[in-house]
Amino acid sequence: MDGPAHLPARLLAHDPAVLYTRLPALALSVLTRATILNLSGDAPVVMGRLVMKFGGTSVANLDRIRNVARHVKREVDAGHDVAVVVSAMAGKTNELVEWCRDASAMHDAREYDAVVASGEQVTAGLLAIALQSIGIQARSWQGWQIPIKTSDAHASARILDIDGSELIDHFRERQEVAVIAGFQGIHAQTGRITTLGRGGSDTSAVAVAAAIRADRCDIYTDVDGVYTTDPRIVPKARRLDKIAFEDMLELASQGAKVLQVRSVELGMVHNMPIFVRSSFDKPEDIDPHGTPPGTLICSEEEIMENHVVTGIAFSKDEAQISVRQIEDKPGVAAAIFGPLADANINVDMIVQNVSEDGKTTDLTFTVPAADHARARETIGAAKVAIGYARLDSATDVAKVSVIGSGMRSHAGVAAQAFKALAERNINIRAITTSEIKFSVLIDAAYTELAVRTLHTLYGLDQA
Ligand code: ADP
Ligand code: ASP
Ligand code: MG
């Protein structure tokens, strides 16, 4: 371990970072996490280690990349060690995905990853150049260079391991900002490039933050925090100051794309505070030791106010499949869901009801819209084994989910929603519930109306 003699004078003067290397992990987190964000309002200013992640719209062109560089400079000048994680420029990943599809509908997932990972490589290099040009030492890193080791599930790989020690050494020895290409990693055994699934740079950022034992992971995006629902759909949505990992996990998995689900899972496992904030605020107007507008995702204990409903998410990427007139006998569900599982198709909502003749049953379930055709084929291929009369399906459906850990201790929350939706003449096709959320499947055309209705119903509208 480097002694203080190797640490830059800037840090030695008044920076507890010198102590970080010697304090046990718990002391470190208590010392730094509360103070770096100045949550209590009057905590002393200290410096620490930060991960700053910038999404596609934040790096959409060279002007915005220069703006990002100024955000980074602000934190470096304040004395923090900084690792930056970047996404591809807005629209770039979509274009690359399209190119793969055009090249061949049945393309090799390893080559898809080789193509789509390139977007982040470009932004990492450009940001390093932009930083150097304003006098900040910076170096770009691709996933394989760190390395960010992942599983071999190409196009949706999971991060298995990141060795953060080299990055930490670079902070100490060279005061160098690490600019890391998000979304990508490497499968150690095959040496092939992998990607983490759409929106995966969030996950890269939180994983890097955990690996370098950062004090906080800042997610800079095109909104200034996590709202009670998508602020682009409901202008009355309210920004949350804090949200518990559990609630954020549900919001993200039910369709709020502000954070990739896996990034929230990692944050929860490593108890890494994630702070969602805007990259469009003027870098120079922000006090690096103040409390900027944004949303802190943290453990439930840190949240004083507990509303019954925290937020509402929706997803139009759903398809409904109904298997009609199945003979009602043991083993039918297994005959349907077994082949779907074998085909790696995720089934979400399931409703079984007795059909008109009373002898047979109908089974309705949802799958991701992208798997609609494959799910139909899979059920079609198992027709004899299942024994059904007809297969219906629809893709013009949406799932609206109401989330709140306060639901654990409150009854009747869902019942209010059913009534409010009925009053708006919105038909519910399927329902699922869990401890801290419930979801309804409705016609896609009513999504916005349903979200706004429920947002008002649960008192989430801005005053
Ligand atoms: P980035 O490119 O920075 O990763 P994303 O487009 O992936 O940004 O995520 C930000 C977007 O998430 C916002 O523009 C917003 O429309 C959407 N969003 C959905 N639900 C929410 C929510 N509850 N709070 C904030 N943003 C949300
Ligand atoms: N560029 C990737 C995507 O568009 C990863 C990300 O932006 O998080 O999905
Ligand atoms: Mg994103």
pLDDT mean over 354-375: 90
Q: Of 58, 68, 87, 97, which is best to mutate to test ligand 2, by the most ligand atoms within 8 angstroms of its C-beta?
A: 87
Q: How far apart are CA 213 and CA 323, in angstroms?
A: 50
Rounded distance from Cα 120 to ligand 2 centre (Å): 8
Share of the chain above pLDDT 90, in %: 78
Q: Hey, what are 272's tokens?
A: 């890494």
Average pLDDT value for residue range 178-207: 98
For residue 229, the ligand 1 atom closest to its alpha carbon is 23
Residue 13 pLDDT = 24
| Rounded-to-integer distance, Cα 324 and Cα 393, Å | 11
Q: Which ligand is closest in space to the CA of residue 91?
A: 2
Strand bridging mode 192-195 / 216-221: unpaired
> Ligand 2: which atom is nearest the Cα of residue 198?
9
Range with the poorest average pLDDT among 78-87, 208-217, 355-364: 355-364
- Count the Cβ atoms, other than its own, within 10 Å of residue 292: 17
User: Is the pLDDT confidence value at 373 over 70?
Assistant: yes
Q: Which residue reads 């899972």 in tokens?
A: 265
Question: Are the C-beta atoms of residues 441 and 255 closer than 8 Å to each other?
Answer: no
3-state secondary structure of 257: coil
Given this model, what pLDDT does residue 24 score? 31
Instruction: Give the ligand 2 atom nearest the CA of 201.
Output: 8
The reported pLDDT for the residue numbered 162 is: 96
Residue 122 DSSP code: H
Point out the ligand nearest to the CA of residue 95. 2
Q: Is the pLDDT of residue 362 over 60?
A: yes
Ligand that comes closest to the CA of residue 120: 2
Residue 232, ligand 1, Cβ within 6 A: yes
Quote the pTM value: 0.88
Q: What is the average pLDDT across 100-111?
A: 94
227 φ/ψ sector (left φ>0, alpha ψ -120 to 50, else beta): beta
Please give the pLDDT value at position 46: 58
Greatest Cα pair distance, the chain, in angstroms, is: 84
69 within 8 A of 131, measured Cβ to Cβ: yes
Q: Is the pLDDT of residue 44 over 80?
A: no
The residue behind tokens 């220069």 is 66
Residues in the ligand 2 pocket, defined by CB under 6 Å: 55-56, 87-88, 93, 119, 182-183, 198-202
Q: Cα(258) to centroid of ligand 3, in Å?
A: 6
In order of 215, 253, 424, the CA distances from 321 in angstroms are 46, 21, 25
User: Which whole number is the average pLDDT over 344-355?
Assistant: 89
pLDDT at 250 over 50: yes
Greater confidence (170 vs 231) lies with: 231
- 262's CB contacts (< 8 A; 6+ apart) are 158, 196, 197, 200, 202, 203
Q: pLDDT tens digits, residue range 388-404?
A: 999 999 999 999 999 99
User: How much of the chain, in percent, has pLDDT values that exceed 70?
Assistant: 90
**Strand pairing category for 138-141 and 177-181:** parallel
C-alpha 87 – ligand 3 centre gap (Å): 8
H or E element in which residue 413 lies: helix 413-423
pLDDT score at 289? 84
With a cut of 90, say whether residue 371 has pLDDT above it: yes
* pLDDT band with cut points at 50, 70 and 90 for residue 353: confident
Q: Which pLDDT does position 47 carry in this prediction?
A: 63
Supply the DSSP string of 58-83, one letter for each residue: GGSSHHHHHHHHHHHHHHHHTT-EEE
pLDDT surpasses 90 at 258: yes
User: How does residue 27 score in pLDDT terms, banded at 50, 70 and 90?
Assistant: very low
For the chain, give the mean pLDDT: 89
* Protein residue whose Cα sits closest to atom 21 of ligand 1: 230
pLDDT for residue 383 is more than 90: yes
Summarised one tens digit per residue, pLDDT across range 277-299 is 999 989 999 998 888 999 999 99
pLDDT surpasses 80 at 41: no
CA atoms within 13 A on the CB side of 356: 1
